[in-house]
């Protein structure tokens, strides 16, 4: 895992274990940056699941995210806690798109459990129906690096 300090001289860089814990345990949204067909940036706020150094996102197969990633599978992402003291992880990643329902359902279930707390939740049921019926894709992000910050430690030398 390649980790760099996002704000040298202020706060600290997260360790590999801290990155894993932050991305695994946080219920914060992920901001996903893609480039559209006109070369313009797009930001997409999404739910995600982190496992084995990869980030997973469920989305409609016809979404703007999928359209943009099909043309350019390089993305930027950011998960940050806006509460003081600020902490976060961002980076660049390459993306694979999966439309395989059998592979996608277990990942989508993990995402729904993380954010809704139950697969019986109405939102979770609705979204999982889309996955089970083949309307969704799973985006698998493989980060090339992480840029991290933890401002709880204040000014550093």
Q: Is residue 157 scored above 60 in pLDDT? A: no
Q: What is the pLDDT of residue 82?
A: 87
Rounded-to-integer distance, Cα 154 and Cα 92, Å: 26
Reported as a pLDDT band with limits 50, 70 and 90, residue 52 is: very high
CB crowding 123-143: b at 16 or more within 10 Å, else e: ebeebbeebeeeebbbbbbeb
**Would you state the pLDDT for residue 73?**
97
* Cut 0.75: pTM above it: yes
**Which has more pLDDT, 155 or 115?**
115
Query: pLDDT (tens digit, 9 = 90+) per residue, 11-41?
Result: 899 999 999 999 999 999 999 999 999 999 9
pLDDT at 153 over 80: no
Q: How far apart are the first and last CA of the chain?
A: 24
Contact 66, 74 (CB under 8 A): no
Q: Say whether pLDDT at 4 is over 70.
A: yes
- Domains of the chain, each with CATH number or no CATH: 3-151 (2.30.110.10)
Q: Which pLDDT does position 156 carry in this prediction?
A: 59
> Which string of DSSP letters, residue by residue, matches 80-139?
EE-SSSPEEEEEEEEEEEE--HHHHHHHHHHHHHHHHS-TTSHHHHHHHHHHHTT-EEEE
Q: How confident is the model at residue 155 (pLDDT cuts 50, 70, 90)?
A: low
Which of 35 and 152 is assigned the larger pLDDT? 35
What own/partner pairs with CB < 8 Å and gap ≥ 24 does 115-124 have? 115/27, 115/47
State how far the Cα of 92 lies from the Cα of 46, in Å rounded to an integer. Answer: 16
For 99-151, what is each residue's pLDDT tens digit? 999 999 999 999 999 999 999 999 999 999 999 999 999 999 999 999 999 99
């Amino acid at each position: 895992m390649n980790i760099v300090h996002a704000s040298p001289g202020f706060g600290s860089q997260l360790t590999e274990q801290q990155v894993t814990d932050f991305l695994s345990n946080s219920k914060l949204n992920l901001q996903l940056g893609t480039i559209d067909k006109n070369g313009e940036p797009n930001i997409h706020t999404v739910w995600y699941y982190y496992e084995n150094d990869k980030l997973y996102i469920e989305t409609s197969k016809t979404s703007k995210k999928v359209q943009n990633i099909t043309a350019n599978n390089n993305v930027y992402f950011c998960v940050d806690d806006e509460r003081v003291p600020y902490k976060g992880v961002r980076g660049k990643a390459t993306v694979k798109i999966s439309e395989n329902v059998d592979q996608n359902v277990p990942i989508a279930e993990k995402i729904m459990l993380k954010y809704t707390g139950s697969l019986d939740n109405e939102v979770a049921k609705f979204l999982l129906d889309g996955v089970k019926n083949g309307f969704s894709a799973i985006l698998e992000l493989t980060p090339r690096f992480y840029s991290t910050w933890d401002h709880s430690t204040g000014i550093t030398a």
